[in-house]
Homo-oligomer: A and B are copies of this chain.
Amino acid sequence: MATLPVLVSIPLDRHPYLVVPGTKVHLDKIDPADHHLYEGDKSEGKNALVPLAAELGSLQNLLYAQGRKRLLVVLQAMDTAGKDGTIRDVFADMDAIGVRVVAFKAPSEPELAHDYLWRVHSQVPRNGEVTVFNRSHYEDVIVVRVRGFAPEERWSKRFDHIRCFEQMLVDEGTTIVKFFLHISKEEQKERLQTRLDDPEKRWKFNPADLEDRARWSDYQRAYEEVLSRTSTDAAPWYVIPANRKWYRNLVISRILIDTMTGLKMEFPKPDFDHKKIIVE
């Protein structure tokens, strides 16, 4: 049997998709269809995800068993870029007992009556838990900015808040990884059309998505500022080429595996000698 093509593994601090802290991101210089880290094709790439998802499952189990660290994964993207699909595919082998997905929609009345980080902080992972933010506090410097929901004087201060907030979480024992799923405007067109055409996907279509699409370049500029200003050593951003779903899944899985492996976790040492215990 032929060997499967391999996904190139790269140290995280030199990863080609890492937004190096302090550098400026130009999204139009990053090809959303790039797939240079994997030499195989779509079908091979889909198969290659299977062992990666299993490895992620094992690592999550270890995180849960150890019960001392926490992992926060932040997903941000334009509509249809694949946040839901990433969660379904990449986290497929994780155990629901220790994984929690939090989707941040338009804020409710009690949420609006507090600062924007209030609802976010309440949902951060606890010891042993993996939490995935499907959208996040970054909407408060993205959609809020592009749609004018708050004046610049208000949202412009949030970059500092967010850096501080994430640094605090990390100082206190949380690991944070942030992914921006990068698709082309043309790819979004196709995916929106599919949502309209497919009766089983139509529920995901929202006419307001077209209003956001009409502001595509405003969103790209807002994302560029976010990525440039909030990628830190403590909480790095990765810009994931996401036109190819299978490639997106492979790259994210690999980064998560390398991140979790870096935590050097161990199963808790029992305080008994298992050989001396007789179960009758």
- For residue A124, CB closer than 8 A to chain B, the reply is yes
Question: Are A114's CB and B110's CB within 8 A?
Answer: no
- For residue A3, CB closer than 8 A to chain B, the reply is no
- A174 / chain B contacts, CB cutoff of 8 Å: 115
- A160 / chain B contacts, CB cutoff of 8 Å: 164, 167
Question: Are B168's CB and A164's CB within 8 A?
Answer: yes
Q: State how many angstroms separate the Cβ of A179 from the closest Cβ of chain B.
A: 22
Cα separation A160 to B165 with both chains bound (whole Å): 10
Cα separation A171 to B152 with both chains bound (whole Å): 12
Q: Residues 117-132 of chain A: 1 if any B CB is under 8 Å from the residue's CB, otherwise 0?
A: 1100110101110000
Which residues A113-164 have CB closer than 8 A to chain B?
Answer: 113-118, 121-122, 124, 126-128, 154, 157-158, 160-161, 164
Q: Which of B113, B116, B167 contacts A127 (CB 8 A)?
A: B113
- This chain: how many copies in the complex? 2
Chain A contact residues (Cβ within 8 angstroms of B): what range?
20 to 34
- A157 / chain B contacts, CB cutoff of 8 Å: 171
- A169 / chain B contacts, CB cutoff of 8 Å: 115
Q: Which residue of B lies closest to A172 (CB)?
A: B115
- For residue A173, CB closer than 8 A to chain B, the reply is yes
Question: Are A117's CB and B121's CB within 8 A?
Answer: yes
Question: Are A168's CB and B165's CB within 8 A?
Answer: yes
Q: State how many angstroms separate the Cβ of A189 from the closest Cβ of chain B.
A: 37
- A115 / chain B contacts, CB cutoff of 8 Å: 124, 168-169, 172-174
- A154 / chain B contacts, CB cutoff of 8 Å: 171-172
Cα separation A172 to B118 with both chains bound (whole Å): 11
Question: Are B161's CB and A161's CB within 8 A?
Answer: no
- A158 / chain B contacts, CB cutoff of 8 Å: 171
Give 21 pairs: A residue, B residue, CB < 8 Å, sorted on A: A113-B126, A113-B128, A114-B124, A114-B127, A115-B124, A115-B168, A115-B169, A115-B173, A116-B172, A117-B121, A117-B168, A118-B121, A118-B122, A121-B121, A121-B122, A122-B122, A158-B171, A160-B164, A164-B165, A165-B165, A165-B168
Residues of A within 8 A of B (CB): 110, 113-118, 121-122, 124, 126-128, 154, 157-158, 160-161, 164-165, 167-169, 171-174
- Nearest 4 pairs of A and B residues by beta carbon: A164-B164, A115-B172, A113-B126, A161-B168
